[in-house]
Amino acid sequence: MIPAISAAFLFFAVLSCGGCSHLQETAKVIWGSSIAHLEEARADGRVVIVQEDRQKAFGQAAQALKNSGAKIYLEDKNGDHLAAMGFKGYVDTTQVGLFFTSLGEGGGTKIEVASMSPPLVRDVEEILLSYFKKGAGDERQ
C-alpha cells in the first residue's frame, strides 16, 4: 500500500515540476487553462506598443479589458500574458490573449493581441489604443 502511494506521489510531483511538458499541457486543456491556441494565433495578431514598463502596462491593459466588460480568466503571475473572454458582441467563450514583452529600459512594452477571432483582435487593439491614447509612443502594427 505505501509503495503505491509513494509511486503516485512521485508521478504527480514529476508532472508538476515540468518533467513531461506535453502531459502538463494536456492537463491544462482538461482543466480549461490552456492558452496554446492563443499563443499560436500571435502570428496573425496585432501589436500595440506603449511607453510603460511591462508590469504597469499589464495592469493597465487588464483594467482596460475589465472596463470594456470582459472577464479576465487567466493572469500569468510574472505579467507575461493574460487571457479574457466575455466581450460584448461576441459569443461569451470567444477568447483573447495579451502577451507582454519589455522593450528594454525606457523602451516601453510590446503588447501582442491574439485570438481565433480576427474581429475581436481588432476590437481589443482599439480598446487598448483608446486606453493608452495619452502615451506619445503608442503605435499600431
Q: What is the pLDDT of residues 93-112, one digit of tens each?
A: 899 999 999 998 778 999 99
User: What is the per-residue pLDDT for 14?
Assistant: 52
| 114 and 99 within one domain | yes
Please write the tens of the pLDDT for every residue from 60-80: 999 999 999 999 999 988 889
| 102 and 55 within one domain | yes
Nearest C-alpha neighbor of 132 from the set 69, 47, 74: 47
| 75 and 21 within one domain | no
Residue with cell 502531459: 23
Nearest C-alpha neighbor of 98 from the set 126, 123, 62: 62
| 45 and 87 within one domain | yes
Question: What is the reported pTM?
Answer: 0.71
Query: Which residue range(s) make up the domain with 114?
Result: 35-140
| 26 and 84 within one domain | no
d(CA 104, CA 120) in angstroms, rounded, equals 29
User: What is the per-residue pLDDT for 136?
Assistant: 41
- What value does the mean pLDDT take over residues 34-55? 90
| 73 and 125 within one domain | yes
pLDDT cut 70: percent of the chain above it: 71
Number of domains in the chain: 2
The torsion angles phi and psi of 18, rounded to 5 degrees, stand at: 90, 15
Q: What is the DSSP letter of 114?
A: E
| 121 and 52 within one domain | yes
